[in-house]
Amino acid sequence: MGSRIVTFGEVIMRLSPPGNKTMRQSHEMEFFFGGTELNVASSLAVMNCEVRHISNVSDDFVGESAVSFMKSVGIDTSFINKTEHPLGLYFLEVGSSVRASRIAYNRLNGSFANIKTEQVDWEKALEGCEYFHWTGISPGISESAYETLKEGLQTARKMGIHITTDPAYRSNLWKYGKSGNEILKELVSYSTIFIGGVNEINEILGTQFSSDQEGFIEACTILQQQIPSIHKVFDKIRIGVNASSQQTQGRAWVNDTFFETDLLEVNPVVDRIGTGDAFAAGLIYGLLHFDDEKALKFANAACAIKHTILGDINYCSAEDIMEVMNGNSGGRIKR
């Protein structure tokens, strides 16, 4: 039996000194497993969706631990391969207020970077799948990851699966000699739902739209002209007051119609990592259960509440998110 949602991407370990300590001040680190697509998968699994994640992990006790984590949230790990390469990881120093958080990566020669097209039987992996989700991180890690993803997208497209994409361009990736923007454009052209906004469109199309509502609508219009498979665009706007305080808002362009959500404020921020992925997971959950406008609201609430959870994963049930969506401010204790 297949899973309704399938994701593909790196399983990465995060290592972080406790609290707001810098590495130089600490002899301990907390660790978490994550990765942008796995974060989406995990959030959906926590909300009791059937989810399969496709990836490589290291063939050692670190990889075992990662698989154990995925199982713990209920993800189907039958398409996780074990390889001789070490698991990718990153170090995080958590900032506060005027001090930004810092990340140092160790991923470009890891298990996922070394994934090969022949390691994934896409037809089998996508059996029963309704939504396939990918992001712009995976093809930026290595050429073979790009090729493996492309094969997956082609298969998914053939099978008529909804394809959601968060095609963020990260300048610290794309070291293998290809142009990130061109490849992202190519891969987006297989997709049907675009999770991103003006920045992402400008990067892919080489345009210069402004970030306001008008610019957003123009950018979406051009995007759909150039990539007609995209029939829905959902965007989150993050207003980063500082490292400890954030505001989130969703907006969308669907069927030539613009709509947006209220602004949600989060102060203090417990953890910013994975909040975009919580938005994407919330959106997919919403699209499976609600209409587009409610789906956007749900996604924005999911994004907001993730800021209060330590680690990369949004450990909130759909009910928790619904409460935030319905204006619950968190002030009362649930007994």
Burial 313-332 (b: 16+ CB within 10 A, else e): bbebebebbebbbeeeeeee
Angle at CA 330, nearest 5°, toward 329 and 335?
140
- Decide whether 124 or 158 has the Cβ nearer to a second copy: 124
Q: How far is the CB of 273 from a second copy (least distance, A)?
A: 8
- Decide whether 91 or 258 has the Cβ nearer to a second copy: 91
Bridge partner residues of 80 (DSSP): 55
Site string for a second copy, 276-295 (x = CB under 8 A): --------------------
Q: How many residues does the chain have?
A: 335
Q: How far is the CB of 241 from a second copy (least distance, A)?
A: 6
Q: How far is the CB of 278 from a second copy (least distance, A)?
A: 12
Residue for token pair 């699994």:
45
**Spatial distance between the Cα atoms of 214 and 209, rounded to a whole number of angstroms:** 9
Considering only the stretches 125-133, 140-148, 193-201, 301-309, report the one whose residues sit in contact with a second copy under the rule CB under 8 A: 301-309
Based on its alpha-carbon atoms, the radius of gyration of the chain, rounded to whole angstroms, reads: 19
Which of 12, 26, 43, 140 touches a second copy by CB under 8 A?
Answer: 26
Structure token pair of residue 205: 């199309």
Q: 302 to 331, contacts with a second copy by CB under 8 A?
A: 304-305, 307-311, 315-316, 320, 323-324, 328-331
Q: 36 to 95, contacts with a second copy by CB under 8 A?
A: 58, 60-62, 64-65, 68-69, 71-74, 86-87, 89, 91, 93, 95
Amino acid at 298: F
Q: How far is the CB of 29 from a second copy (least distance, A)?
A: 5
Q: Which of 36, 71, 32 is nearest to 52 (CA)?
A: 71
CA-to-CA separations, 264 to 248, 277, 303, 304, in angstroms, rounded: 5, 17, 9, 7
- Binding flag, residue 144, a second copy (CB under 8 A): no
Structure token pair of residue 214: 């008008």
- Binding flag, residue 24, a second copy (CB under 8 A): yes
Q: How far is the CB of 289 from a second copy (least distance, A)?
A: 21
Expressed in angstroms, the distance from the first to the final Cα of the chain is 38
Which of 177, 179, 208, 334 touches a second copy by CB under 8 A?
Answer: 334
- Decide whether 24 or 228 has the Cβ nearer to a second copy: 24
Considering only the stretches 4-12, 196-204, 279-287, 300-308, report the one whose residues sit in contact with a second copy under the rule CB under 8 A: 300-308
- Binding flag, residue 246, a second copy (CB under 8 A): yes
- Decide whether 106 or 181 has the Cβ nearer to a second copy: 106
- Decide whether 135 or 155 has the Cβ nearer to a second copy: 135
Q: How far is the CB of 140 from a second copy (least distance, A)?
A: 12
3-state secondary structure labels for all residues of 144-160? HHHHHHHHHHHHHHHCC
**Spatial distance between the Cα atoms of 289 and 18, rounded to a whole number of angstroms:** 38
